[in-house]
A and B are shown apart, each in its own frame.
Chain A
Amino acid sequence: MQNQQSTPKLELRNITKWFGPKDTGVCAVDNCSLAVQKGEFICVVGPSGCGKSTLMTVGAGLEQPTEGEILVDGKPAGPPGPQRSVVFQKFALFPSETVAQNIKFGLQMCGVDAKEQERRLVEQLKIMKLEQFRDAYPSELSGGMQQRVAIARSLVMQPEILLMDEPFGALDAQTRTILQEEVQRLHREHHYTVLFITHSVEEAVYLGDRVIVMSRRPGRIKKEISLPRDVVWKRGDIEVAAEHPDFIAARREIWALVREEIIAQ
């Protein structure tokens, strides 16, 4: 709680989002407020269709909220840009470009010089274990590898805020586990500020410093649960963590909240 005194890195203030005309269209998000502190990892869970993606898209600046405002460091956030980087569930790699070209894309858009582009590319390929795939096209890669490229493409921009919308939702269970552990490690080492959307309560408990449970549509914030940060069980593998009593208790509590919303739908 002591975090909340400082200016949040990213703040969504009283966000309401209607698709279509107000009152006759669809209300996807209803008066949601949420603040992500610098270095914090926030997970948002909620039933399918409750407005999680909408909340993130609005937070990224890709859609305008009907009401409310988005603040970065306490100032109104402008148009979307590399400082608020997004990783999408469907990878969203550019199919006509190689892994290296995809990762360099944002650097080139920002006018980073060629030598620096190369340096950061090589560094990122190493971090995401993609060295061998440098010249492959996305269609030649497995889903897990594609998502690694998408994450690398975001991280190479050294974003202040990382927004991830169910990044592992389209992956098989084994690949997902590996990537969850890797994201956990990245966050521990680099202290990224992350807003992470997920279906999976386990994932949220394992990764999140705080978990936000959303209600069924129109999405409201139902409850926030703070989790112990940087504890030993979070440093290990997710299967090991999942056996820790704190993990089990948190998962049970959060799952009960999500379940209520699903049943009421």
Chain B
Amino acid sequence: MRINFLNRTRSSDSSRLPLIYGAGSLLVLLILWTLSTSVLGWIDPMTLPSPAEVVARFGNLIVEPFSGSTLAGHVGASLYRWALGVGAAVLLGVPVGILFAWLPGFRAVFNPIFEVLRYIPPFAWVPIAILWFGASTATQAMVVFIAAFPACVINAQLGVQQVDPILVRAARVLGAGQGAMLRRVVVPVAAPAIFTGLRIAISNGWMALVGAELVVGKVGLGFLISQGQNNDSVSTIFVGIIAIGSLGVIIDTLLQRSETVLLPWRKPRAQRDG
């Protein structure tokens, strides 16, 4: 009996189970939404539009510009700013985190600055960003950067700190210098933690971006929502919200996929020796 049980949990059937449950719960939510709005009319359409309305608005936004851009335009603008901000945060934050863990002197000098800056909420930077860059792409990208940077640093640092010192010793005995040690041993071993940092950075950056777009700018998903509010178009707001959530999930899924491709050694293939 016990053996059967163990086999079952390993079969591919059960690995798909969470997916089925997840889809099921989304479906139930959709049904409840439909029932309470279009079918039973419990909720006033100005409070919560029906799914049909949202879908219709979605189709409409794809073809017709709203507040200056089509939906694709708003999505594109948001993704671009987000990519700039997150890209800069990763390119700068990961090396800083690695050096924090690798060079105690570097950490001693820069960590206090980092700690103070990290407790300032990204939105506190919006006024200064507007002052510096005006209502431009750079403003939102800077807010994204500030929201994404700490997670990159902290997780890269943690990842490097967790590398077993014996690996470093083994590399030293084999004649590796600092550079080779970092490149071939320390960074690859820390990579899963770095990836975790990227996932957090990406979602933090995405959330901060939408916030920044609500207050500044003339295009983007946050701007779309605020325009929906100004025009009393609840369905526009809902299209914007759902687009934000879905894009977040898509980006995160892509990153998780790339992790399995980029770090093939993490998932043992079938055991090849008895």
Query: B138 an interface residue at 8 Å Cβ cutoff?
Result: no
Identify which of A57, A92, A136, A141 contacts B164 (C-beta below 8 A): A92
Return the CB mask of B169-205 against A: 1 if under 8 Å, else 0.
1111111110010001100110100000000000000
- A95–B272 CB distance below 8 A: no
- A84–B173 CB distance below 8 A: yes
Return the CB mask of B251-272 against A: 1 if under 8 Å, else 0.
0000000000001111011111
Instruction: Determine the chain B residues whose CB is within 8 A of the CB of A105 once the complex forms.
Output: 171, 174, 176, 184
- B273–A141 CB distance below 8 A: yes
- A109–B174 CB distance below 8 A: yes
Identify which of B174, B265, B271 contacts A95 (C-beta below 8 A): B265
Q: Determine which residue in B174, B191, B263, B273 has the highest number of CB atoms from chain A within 10 A of its CB, and name it.
A: B174
Give the Cβ gap from B87 to chain A, nearest Cβ, in Å: 24
- A96–B173 CB distance below 8 A: no
Complex formed: what's the CA distance from A132 to B185 in Å?
A: 24
- A145–B273 CB distance below 8 A: yes
Query: A168 an interface residue at 8 Å Cβ cutoff?
Result: no
Q: Determine which residue in B170, B173, B177, B191 has the highest number of CB atoms from chain A within 10 A of its CB, and name it.
A: B173
- B175–A140 CB distance below 8 A: no
- B174–A136 CB distance below 8 A: no
- B173–A109 CB distance below 8 A: no
Query: B250 an interface residue at 8 Å Cβ cutoff?
Result: no
Complex formed: what's the CA distance from A93 to B169 in Å?
A: 11
Give the Cβ gap from B250 to chain A, nearest Cβ, in Å: 28
- A60–B184 CB distance below 8 A: no
Instruction: Determine the chain B residues whose CB is within 8 A of the CB of A140 once the complex forms.
Output: 268-272
Query: A81 an interface residue at 8 Å Cβ cutoff?
Result: yes
Specify the main secondary structure of chain B where it touches its partner: helix
Residue ID in chain B nearest A165 by CB atoms: B166
Identify which of B173, B184, B188 contacts A85 (C-beta below 8 A): B173
- B173–A62 CB distance below 8 A: yes
Q: Name the interface size band of chain B.
A: 20 to 34
- B175–A94 CB distance below 8 A: no
Instruction: Determine the chain A residues whose CB is within 8 A of the CB of B167 once the complex forms.
Output: 92, 94
**Residues of A110-132 contacting chain B, CB below 8 A:** 110, 132
Q: How many interface residues does A have (CB within 8 Å)?
A: 34
**Residues of A132-164 contacting chain B, CB below 8 A:** 132-133, 136-142, 145, 153, 157
- A139–B265 CB distance below 8 A: yes
If A110-B175, A136-B272, A139-B265 touch, does A96 touch B191 (CB 8 Å cutoff)?
yes
- B268–A137 CB distance below 8 A: yes
- B272–A132 CB distance below 8 A: yes
Give the Cβ gap from B249 to chain A, nearest Cβ, in Å: 29
Identify which of A81, A132, A133, A137 contacts B173 (C-beta below 8 A): A81
Return the CB mask of A157-189 against B: 1 if under 8 Å, else 0.
100000000000000000000000000000000
Complex formed: what's the CA distance from A96 to B171 in Å?
A: 13
Residue ID in chain B nearest A159 by CB atoms: B173
Identify which of B174, B270, B274 contacts A106 (C-beta below 8 A): B174
Query: A218 an interface residue at 8 Å Cβ cutoff?
Result: no
- A86–B180 CB distance below 8 A: no
- B173–A82 CB distance below 8 A: yes
Identify which of A82, A98, A132, A142 contacts B174 (C-beta below 8 A): A82
Instruction: Determine the chain B residues whose CB is within 8 A of the CB of A235 once the complex forms.
Output: none
**Residues of A179-236 contacting chain B, CB below 8 A:** none
Residue ID in chain A nearest B170 by CB atoms: A92
Complex formed: what's the CA distance from A106 to B164 in Å?
A: 19
- B172–A95 CB distance below 8 A: no
- A82–B175 CB distance below 8 A: yes
Residue ID in chain A nearest B180 by CB atoms: A109
Instruction: Determine the chain B residues whose CB is within 8 A of the CB of A136 once the complex forms.
Output: 269, 272
Query: A97 an interface residue at 8 Å Cβ cutoff?
Result: yes
- B272–A86 CB distance below 8 A: no
If A86-B173, A106-B174 touch, does A92 touch B166 (CB 8 Å cutoff)?
yes
Give the Cβ gap from B263 to chain A, nearest Cβ, in Å: 7
Query: A90 an interface residue at 8 Å Cβ cutoff?
Result: yes
> 28 A-B residue contacts at CB 8 Å?
A62-B172, A82-B173, A82-B175, A86-B173, A88-B169, A90-B164, A90-B166, A92-B166, A92-B169, A94-B171, A95-B188, A95-B265, A96-B184, A96-B188, A97-B184, A97-B265, A98-B265, A105-B174, A106-B174, A109-B174, A109-B175, A109-B176, A136-B272, A137-B264, A137-B265, A139-B265, A141-B273, A157-B174
Given A109-B175, A145-B273, list of 15 further CB < 8 A pairs? A80-B169, A82-B173, A86-B170, A94-B167, A94-B171, A94-B184, A96-B185, A96-B265, A98-B265, A106-B174, A110-B175, A136-B269, A139-B266, A141-B272, A142-B273
Q: Which residues of B contact A (CB under 8 A)?
A: 164, 166-167, 169-177, 180, 184-185, 188-189, 191, 263-266, 268-274
